[in-house]
Amino acid sequence: MRPHDGRAIPTFIGQALRNEPMTVTGEGRQTRSICYVDDTIDGMLALASSAHPGPINIGSPHELTVLEIALMIRDTAGSRSPVVFIDRPPGDPAMRCPDIAQARELLGWEPRIVPAEGLKRTVDWFAGLFAGPGYSQA
């Protein structure tokens, strides 16, 4: 994830770390499942080292609302950012949650890092990035 790639998590983290309003689309009720990068890589490696030709869903079956994700990030960052609601873009899915039954059954894989811990690690990483030499928030 890059700070300005337009995705919800990097956007929320940047806003929270700068104590800017956190922009949640719609009412924030749409769901997402977030999977920490270490778990994603482990799942991809499990598939690559298996005899299964794929595809197999790799991700987290634990759904959170976009608003829950924003609030978790704000709390994790120790931010005082208010949440503001903006128009939801056209085509924004109401739900994103993979079915990882095949990954469990065929690869013996499932994510180990709970969303709160993954978000904490990600917020910490971004905080270090923002504090690094030569970083511009523009």
List the single range of 41-45, 69-73, 118-122, 129-133 with lowest mean pLDDT. 129-133
| Whole-prediction pTM | 0.87
Q: Is 41 part of a structural domain of the chain? A: yes
Q: Which domain holds residue 63?
A: 8-117
Name the domain count of the chain.
1
List the single range of 19-23, 76-80, 94-98, 133-137 with lowest mean pLDDT. 133-137
CATH number, domain of 64, equals 3.90.25.10
pLDDT tier, 113 (very low <50, low <70, confident <90, very high otherwise): very high
Rounded to 5°, the CA angle 4-6-12 comes to: 80
Q: Is 126 part of a structural domain of the chain? A: no
Give which of 56, 51, 60, 47 is closest to 111, Cα–Cα.
60
Q: Is 123 part of a structural domain of the chain? A: no
Q: Is 129 part of a structural domain of the chain? A: no
Element (H, E) at 18: none
